[in-house]
Amino acid sequence: LTHEMLKDGSWRTADFKAYNFNALGQPTAGGYLHPLLKVRAQMRKIFTNMGFEEMPTNNYVESSFWNFDALFQPQQHPARDAHDTFFLTRPAASPLSRQPQDYVQRVRQTHERGGYGSTGYGSHWKVSEAEKNLLRTHTTAVSSRMLYRLAQQGFKPSKYFSIDRVFRNEAIDRTHLAEFHQIEGVVCDKGLTLGDLIGILHLFFQRLGMKKLRFKPAFNPYTEPSMEIFAYSEQLHKWIEVGNSGMFRPEMLRPMGLPEDVNVIAWGLGLERPTMILYNIDNIRDLFGHKVSL
């Protein structure tokens, strides 16, 4: 049956074969779940089964105060520079007057003169620096908000996790983009030690199929001690870096109002790297964009 036949009416005398109502239609492509979302679901399941509560991470825009100052990250730290961080121009600032003033003063005091056994940084702490809006550079900014809220509501043993996008103004290459997904686990309780951190890291990573871990001393401005985490990958037949971890410093926890005997252990990893390994994807750009060739 053609357009011409319909136009000139010849379809009326044409001889058509009987319509086969049992003929199967064209198979429809069912689509695919994106590999990043599949690994995110896997990570969520691991945390949930370990009794962790997911943090509200639905704000990409953050103030420097929560992203850096609340974490005792010094105001002159290079990571706070525009070459590492995406600062916003409109609105450029979140007035600190909107934050709890007693807390802001304790943060200022700790940066300038220390306290809780710390000497502080000894330099003037600028409100204007803490007010700068940015795209969060880590989901640890959300952890600081959650820990402050926990302290204010009255501490109780808690386990939180987050999995969401973070933004860094860095050079991009085959395995790095200006944004990536950070996964973070946080445990808050009385008397936690480095041994508890090492123990929970073993529990977490063995659920990702990695049974052999090694730890290397590291530095983060907001954790002391800190450790880089390495695991032996049976799949790649080599040791690989799988994340970073540490114990949040008292200069971060005490100004929030968490009691002296309460510690917080935390660790972080990415989502892209595990996804690329688990799904044999060798260029990170294949994870984003329209052409997800599976």
- Where on the chain is the footprint of ligand FB9 (CB under 6 A)? 140, 182, 184, 208-209, 220, 223, 240-246, 266-270, 273-274, 277-278
9 contacts: CB under 8 Å, gap ≥ 6: none
User: Least CB distance from residue 190 to ligand FB9, whole Å?
Assistant: 19
Distance separating alpha carbons of residues 57 and 138, to the nearest angstrom:
11
User: Least CB distance from residue 35 to ligand FB9, whole Å?
Assistant: 12
| Pair 73, 80: CB distance under 8 Å | yes
Instruction: Pick between residue 269 and residue 287 the one whose CB is nearest to ligand FB9.
Output: 269
Cβ-proximal residue to ligand FB9, closest one: 268
User: Least CB distance from residue 270 to ligand FB9, whole Å?
Assistant: 3
Instruction: Pick between residue 65 and residue 131 the one whose CB is nearest to ligand FB9.
Output: 65
Instruction: Pick between residue 109 and residue 169 the one whose CB is nearest to ligand FB9.
Output: 169
User: Least CB distance from residue 181 to ligand FB9, whole Å?
Assistant: 8
Instruction: Pick between residue 262 and residue 266 the one whose CB is nearest to ligand FB9.
Output: 266
User: Exposed, middle or buried: residue 129 (CB in 10 Å: 0-12, 13-18, 19+)?
Assistant: middle
Residue 28: how many CB atoms within 10 A of its CB?
6
User: Least CB distance from residue 125 to ligand FB9, whole Å?
Assistant: 23
Collapsing DSSP to helix, strand or coil, 93 comes out as strand
Instruction: Pick between residue 108 and residue 168 the one whose CB is nearest to ligand FB9.
Output: 168
Collapsing DSSP to helix, strand or coil, 274 comes out as helix
Maximum distance among all Cα pairs of the chain, rounded to whole angstroms: 99
| Residue with tokens 């990415």, as numbered in its chain | 270
